[in-house]
Structure 1
């Protein structure tokens, strides 16, 4: 229990460091958000009043402490550019699309990588193993945006199976089939790079686990190969795979932002890019805070899953 408290404490420390550094860098950026919010013809008195309303008065530490206290209540301040909307309003509108893209990509990646890795490990050097390894090597060499361009051209422009512009995405509850059809191509594009990483990692661990004595004993008892692979080999081989899935969240966020711009999805990626260009720093700080929380919590969950998958880690921490 103590080890988890210590890890959680380190993650909280990381959150404070990342948000403070972000706050500091945004504070050093040229321009005055209050002047931008007030407009070109605003008087100094009006600008000063807006600065007070936006919480821009006081030292950097005072403003960060005030911002942090409000952020705990999901109050990230008003958008400087989009009048009448708070930063949280804009994030709440964009976040579900980004989450859906990431979740679908992870489901696709795991759904393709695990069966391929099991088939490859059962017959190392066989046809499936060689084909899967060659495909994974090729996918690793292609950046997500290049792969997305090819996918859009082939399946969107030439074949017309899927839309290449997803700027009018219906809600998943309103029209699930149309929603999934529009999100399929962006999700698959994001998933293919993950498939290559997961496949190579899991395949190596599966082959190593197959050499363990208890696996050979299960084979000697006459258990079916499928049962041995799924019940006795996959779980102890999943430690590195679980770590890769958890830690890939950071890369998945960056990849999702690129895919959103490529397919014109109104998600967090487009929101961040537009906010940076328009100097809407309240929105940028809010997005960084939310992504940092997501990242550190995913790291913590990976630690918890470690102890569940391998009790030796839990016992060794006592």
Structure 2
């Protein structure tokens, strides 16, 4: 029953987000039919194209028609890139955006968790002071500022990494070169996440270390490492898991900025280009796919809560 309620809630969120997006796109100046027809098209031709594109009905009728097609992954054709559907364009750009986000998340978790554990073991120590100071500094810097700085230092001055990633090879074709080109954008995107995860997990670990059952485990002579990994880290991960799930939306926005900064032909570039050229079918398709991804990930996070803390699962019954 609990899972069913969450599924219903997520479906409701999808309908609300896609409908609001549809309304906002409808209020945006410009006519996709005129864009598709070209500058020299007559009003009769534009009207016929509007009928062919299904733009002649009311807002609600067009939304219902679009939704019925979207269920079959048919988001309509691009009105700018002739001969390609919206799904074709997304399919070509989505892997690069996903790779950037996944790499950034793995880098952030891989840096933040060990630093948080080391800081919690010795609060006020050298590692704790250095990591806390660095976290405050990273939180104060927007990702595009970090990107410009890192691109200049590691790309222009040192020449270790490319500053323009416009010819990215596939992971299957050349994984080493692919990762070399994506490392700098991924690290840039990950640094702000490191600061958030580090501060959140560190405070929860310190609080959990003061619990009676942890002190009892220490009194039984269990090693510090075993106490940390078996008795402390799991119950301290609830807020951390929440942050990972909720940061997906911010991660998408940050990924779009990083893609523009490093000239990565991902979904960020596609969305900006589609908005400028009034290719609203593509914009609506991107929003729908991102909404599905976001609500699905939040559903997974809800399930992880029950695994991390059984009290949540039992209390919901």
- 1:31 CA drift (Å): 2.2
- Find the counterpart in structure 1 of residue 246 from structure 2: 247
- 1:50 CA drift (Å): 1.6
- 1:66 CA drift (Å): 0.4
Report 1:112-261 matches (<5 A). 112-261=111-260
1:34/1:54 contact within 8 Å kept: yes
- 1:88 CA drift (Å): 0.6
- Find the counterpart in structure 1 of residue 64 from structure 2: 65
- Find the counterpart in structure 2 of residue 79 from structure 1: 78
- Find the counterpart in structure 1 of residue 89 from structure 2: 90
- Find the counterpart in structure 2 of residue 264 from structure 1: 263
- 1:295 CA drift (Å): 1.1
- Find the counterpart in structure 1 of residue 107 from structure 2: 108
2:119/2:128 contact within 8 Å kept: yes
- 1:227 CA drift (Å): 1.2
- Find the counterpart in structure 1 of residue 44 from structure 2: 45
- 1:45 CA drift (Å): 3.2
Matched, 1:27 2:32: no
Cα separation, 2, equivalents of 1:52 and 1:75: 18
SS in 2 for 1:81: coil
List alignment gaps of at least 5 residues for structure 2.
Answer: none
List alignment gaps of at least 5 residues for structure 1.
Answer: none
1:247/1:298 contact within 8 Å kept: no
Cα separation, 1, equivalents of 2:14 and 2:283: 15
- 1:191 CA drift (Å): 0.4
SS in 2 for 1:73: coil
The C-alpha deviation readout for 1:96-139, integer Å capped at 9, x for no partner, is: 00000000000000000000000000000011100110011100
The C-alpha deviation readout for 1:218-262, integer Å capped at 9, x for no partner, is: 111111111111111100100000000011000000000000000
Cα separation, 1, equivalents of 2:112 and 2:305: 20
SS in 1 for 2:236: coil
- 1:292 CA drift (Å): 0.9
2:155/2:162 contact within 8 Å kept: yes
1:261/1:269 contact within 8 Å kept: yes
Q: TM-score, normalised by structure 1?
A: 0.98
Aligned residues: 317
SS in 2 for 1:237: helix
The C-alpha deviation readout for 1:3-56, integer Å capped at 9, x for no partner, is: 222122112111111111111111122222112101122233322222122111
2:31/2:278 contact within 8 Å kept: no
- Find the counterpart in structure 1 of residue 288 from structure 2: 289
The C-alpha deviation readout for 1:137-161, integer Å capped at 9, x for no partner, is: 1000100000001100110000000
Larger mean Cα displacement after TM superposition, 290-299 or 153-162: 290-299
